[in-house]
């Protein structure tokens, strides 16, 4: 999941070298924290959060296929 999220985020932003994904394993689910440059926040979130919602949908679908739960958090 981490690699997928990094790939998607780096494809969207102007500063791909500043994309950072931290994976936190929990009992029932995995949390993926996505950090991008301040200038790129809008590109990752999109209008009315549509891109962020799409990113979450893709990662959740991939995780479900593997029998896992994933939560994507976009941080500053």
Q: How many domains does the chain have?
A: 1
Query: Which domain covers residue 38, as residue numbers?
Result: 2-75
60: helix, strand or coil: helix
6: helix, strand or coil: helix
How far apart are alpha carbons 32 and 45 in whole angstroms? 15
Give the bridge partners for 70, in sequence order. Answer: 30
20: helix, strand or coil: strand
Q: Which pair of structure tokens corresponds to residue 18? A: 């500043």
Find out whether 19 and 13 touch, Cβ atoms under 8 Å: yes
CATH number for position 68: 3.30.300.20
Give pLDDT tens digits along the chain (76 positions): 999 999 999 999 999 999 999 999 988 899 999 999 999 999 999 999 999 999 999 999 999 998 999 999 999 8
**Global pTM value:** 0.91
């Amino acid at each position: 999941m981490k690699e997928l999220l990094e790939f998607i985020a780096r494809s969207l932003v102007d500063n791909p070298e500043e994309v950072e994904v931290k994976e936190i394993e929990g009992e029932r689910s995995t949390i993926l924290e996505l950090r991008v440059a301040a200038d790129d926040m809008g590109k990752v979130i999109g209008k009315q959060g549509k891109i962020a919602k799409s990113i979450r949908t893709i990662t959740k679908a991939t995780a479900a296929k593997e029998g896992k739960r994933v939560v994507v958090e976009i941080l500053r």
